[in-house]
Amino acid sequence: MQDNVPGAALENLIGEVNPLTGAVIQTFQISALFSVSYGDLEVGENGNLYVVSSVEDSILELTTQGQLVQMHDLPTGVSTVSGMDLNCGSAEVWVCSTNGTVYSLGASNCNTLSGIIDQEMQKNIVVFPNPSTGIFYFEHEMKLLGVFNVYGEMVLSANQHAKSIDLNKFSSGVYFLRTVDKGFVRLIKY
């Protein structure tokens, strides 16, 4: 995927390349639909392409031939999105902004994003960063299911109600708390 920098015939260009030979199979331009600046492209299990951009407020869904399927509006407060992950294993959609903020957009069956980005889903979005050096206190007591590292490995199984978590036992890095109330909460341990 080429962003909007080159201008004219090369801007907002998506290409399919043979992974063995490097030969270009096909290309199509999406300038009439979407402008890509610091963006990302994912392929769903249905074969459709999903495109995000830091200058757009939606996720563009296309067929592999470049035909518009749907524009999925991002929830209020989610902006400057430059990365995306369709995690079919855990049936979740994640996006991140250019400033490093990670958003969990909720569940998806990886066949379509339809229906996941709606008003009901918006209340489940977790927005952090929140650098911490010791004990992280929750705003309200939450049911904590576990703590995961950036590789998705559970480093602490909790399954308890908690008002805080002691990060002193973890090395520096990024961790995700999984809670019943908030989904995934990203923590940064310094």
Highest-confidence range of 18-32, 93-107, 110-124, 141-155, by mean pLDDT?
18-32
Residue 2 lies in a domain: no
Tell me how far CA of residue 66 lies from CA of 13, 71, 139, 160, in angstroms: 10, 13, 45, 47
CA distance 174 to 187: 6
Pair 109, 35 in one domain:
yes
Pair 104, 145 in one domain:
no
Pair 32, 68 in one domain:
yes
**Model confidence pLDDT, tens digit, residues 122-132:** 444 444 445 55
Pair 117, 148 in one domain:
no
Pair 138, 72 in one domain:
no
Q: How many folded domains does the chain comprise?
A: 2
Pair 14, 108 in one domain:
yes
Pair 59, 31 in one domain:
yes
pLDDT at 116: 43
Least confident stretch, 113-122, 156-165, 170-179? 113-122
pLDDT at 54: 92
Pair 92, 36 in one domain:
yes
Pair 56, 106 in one domain:
yes
- Tell me which residue range forms the domain holding 14: 8-122
Pair 68, 150 in one domain:
no
Q: Which two structure tokens, joined as six digits, stand for 63?
A: 């067929």
pTM of the model: 0.59
β 131-132/183-189 pair status: parallel
Pair 73, 12 in one domain:
yes
Domain end among 122, 156, 179: 122
- Residues sharing a CB contact under 8 Å with residue 118, sequence separation 6 or more, in sequence order: none
Residue 1 lies in a domain: no
